[in-house]
Amino acid sequence: MKRISIIIALCLIVSMFWSISLDESISLAKQNNKDLLSSKEDLQKANQTYYQVRANIYPQLNVVGAYSLNKTYLPDSAIVPPIDLSLGLDPDTASSNDYYLANVMSGALNSLVPSSPMEEGSMALSLQMQQVLFTGGKLNYSIKTADIYRNIQQLNYQLKEQDIILKTTQMFYSCLLADKLVNVQEAALETARHHLARVEAFANEGLVSDFDVMRARLEVAKLEPQLMQAQNSRDLALSAFRTQIGVNDPTIVPEGNLVLPPKLDITLDEALTQGLENRIELTMAKKGTEVANLQLKTEQAGYFPNLALQASAALYTKADEYAIEGDDFGTNYSIGLGISFPLFNGFATKAKVNSAKSGYRQSQYQEQKYEDLIRLEITQNYQKLRHAEKNYLVQEENMKMAERSLQLAQLRYENQVGIQLEVFDAQTTLSAIQLQYFQSIYEVISATRELQKSLGMNF
């Protein structure tokens, strides 16, 4: 029953933790990383900028309309009394024709005199079109620049994604390493405490000296803070890992084996060639040089004229009252060709061209600088991996010798040829070498991933 209770307790403890694989960790990190999400929004903005610039090659159509009602009250001084020319005719001599003409003229003059209040209604509707015909290539260069810019943002997103994958992978395996180191330290401390109990028992029987007891106690005292440090390192590694994947759940623990990755069978020259062909940073630098070249061409296009076509069709009315009748409408059509030719601007265009030339040369220098840095990085990571692989082989041999030494010490002790202290020393040595062995595996994994990234490989 006691054994069953222990098993049930262990199962409950295990069920309290959420084990997560490397692939799941990388997926969560990409989903929750704020820098990567922000870079994705930059990519969307770059796409929309490209569409905005490209829209300038199409005709620009606008509908402009207005409808207004006006009512004006004139001052009293501006209001003229009605005119009646018939009052100036002599009734004795004026004929009926004279009165008729006088009334007609009076009506005509009164129609010219403003009345108060004056009411007026008007409406206008216009369809306007503008089409760029020639800009010296500036519009074409702007579209190409916007397209390259969005490609750069896409590459920048991929670069950030690679960085996140590499960092998440390293943290994942650092947690596995930290857990291994804690297990080794716990086993070593348990062995030291077991040895101390045996030595103290022998001391009570007078079989060992006080020096042997003191030595066993010092071993326990030395291993206890080492275990505490290993546990603290594991907690810190887990905390950093959970922050990296964007899930602050204290029950999340990485699940996997600390095993060697497939060996990268590649020479240094091959690595340099592959890296220079596939590195995203170098591709971005080349595209930056293309943008600088397009900027130079854009400034040089400032010497050429600009040509545009403009056309419009308008429908308008104007009435001396609020009501607009069907016969109040009029139409207007226009089409024109506009040209702008630069003659002299104080040599500003020449200065812009010279500045763009300098920017183009700077981009070329920057591209060469990136190439040199990438060569150096690949060389360093290549040598780091080869050193890590050699160190692993050494530690592997040390593990075999330490395990063999422990077997021999146990065999000598069982045959009463050796003493129990030899077994303890062999166990302590094996624990120390195990720490170095697991560390060497992690170094190979980390160095392999770093070299893969510096070669532009997807993993």
Could you report the per-residue pLDDT of 251-261, keeping only the tens digit for each?
899 998 888 99
- 8-12, 149-153, 358-362: which range is least confident on average? 8-12
Cβ neighbour number for residue 293 with a 10 Å cutoff: 19
Please report, for the chain, how many H helices and E strands are present, in that order.
10, 6
- Band of the pLDDT at 379, cuts 50, 70, 90? very high
Average pLDDT over residues 190-215: 81
Sequence-ordered strand ranges (E) for 296-436? 306-319, 329-340
Backbone angles phi, psi at 89, to 5 degrees: -85, 150
pLDDT of residue 203: 79
pLDDT of residue 3: 46
Average pLDDT over residues 377-385: 96
Q: Is the pLDDT of residue 206 over 80?
A: no
pLDDT of residue 118: 73
- Band of the pLDDT at 7, cuts 50, 70, 90? very low
**What whole-number distance in Å separates Cα of residue 186 and Cα of residue 228?**
10
Backbone angles phi, psi at 392, to 5 degrees: -65, -40
Among the listed residues 316, 301, 410, 384, the one whose alpha carbon sits nearest the alpha carbon of residue 349:
301
Q: Is the pLDDT of residue 267 over 60?
A: yes
Paired tokens of 208: 């060992």
pLDDT of residue 17: 59
**What whole-number distance in Å separates Cα of residue 38 and Cα of residue 43?**
9
Torsion of CA 143, 148, 150, 152, to 10 degrees: -160
**What whole-number distance in Å separates Cα of residue 220 and Cα of residue 448?**
37
Among the listed residues 247, 241, 242, 200, the one whose alpha carbon sits nearest the alpha carbon of residue 219:
200
Q: Angle between the 348-414 and 420-454 helix axes, to the nearest 10 degrees?
A: 160
**What whole-number distance in Å separates Cα of residue 162 and Cα of residue 416?**
59
| Segment 387-394 long-range contacts (CB within 8 Å, at least 24 positions apart) | 387/447, 388/440, 388/443, 388/444, 388/446, 388/447, 389/263, 389/444, 391/440, 391/443, 392/260, 392/440, 392/441, 392/443, 392/444, 394/440
Among the listed residues 19, 12, 27, 16, the one whose alpha carbon sits nearest the alpha carbon of residue 253:
19
**What whole-number distance in Å separates Cα of residue 285 and Cα of residue 273?**
17
User: Cα angle vertex 293, ends 292, 298, to 5°?
Assistant: 95
Among the listed residues 246, 262, 263, 259, the one whose alpha carbon sits nearest the alpha carbon of residue 20:
246
Tens of pLDDT along 48-96?
A: 999 999 999 999 999 998 888 887 777 776 677 777 777 777 777 777 7
Could you tell me where in the chain the CATH 2.20.200 domains are found?
62-76+87-134+307-340
pLDDT of residue 4: 47
- Band of the pLDDT at 279, cuts 50, 70, 90? very high
Q: Is the separation of the CB atoms in 226 and 432 below 8 Å?
A: no
Distance of CA 91 to the CA centre of its chain: 99
pLDDT of residue 201: 83
Kindly report the pTM of this predicted structure: 0.78
**What whole-number distance in Å separates Cα of residue 165 and Cα of residue 449?**
10
| 343 vs 175: which has the higher pLDDT | 175
Query: Quick one: fold of 62-76+87-134+307-340?
Result: Outer membrane efflux proteins (OEP) (2.20.200)
**What whole-number distance in Å separates Cα of residue 399 and Cα of residue 209?**
32
**What whole-number distance in Å separates Cα of residue 76 and Cα of residue 115?**
10
pLDDT of residue 191: 85
pLDDT of residue 24: 93
Among the ranges 129-133, 307-311, 323-327, 383-387, which has the highest mean pLDDT value? 383-387
- Band of the pLDDT at 9, cuts 50, 70, 90? very low
| 450 vs 110: which has the higher pLDDT | 450
Q: Is the pLDDT of residue 8 over 60?
A: no
Q: What class, spelled out in words, does domain 20-58+135-305+341-454 have in CATH?
A: mainly alpha
pLDDT of residue 78: 65
Could you tell me where in the chain the CATH 1.20.1600.10 domains are found?
20-58+135-305+341-454
**What whole-number distance in Å separates Cα of residue 151 and Cα of residue 289?**
13
pLDDT of residue 441: 94
pLDDT of residue 11: 43
Helices (H), 113-209: 138-204
Q: Is the pLDDT of residue 214 over 60?
A: yes
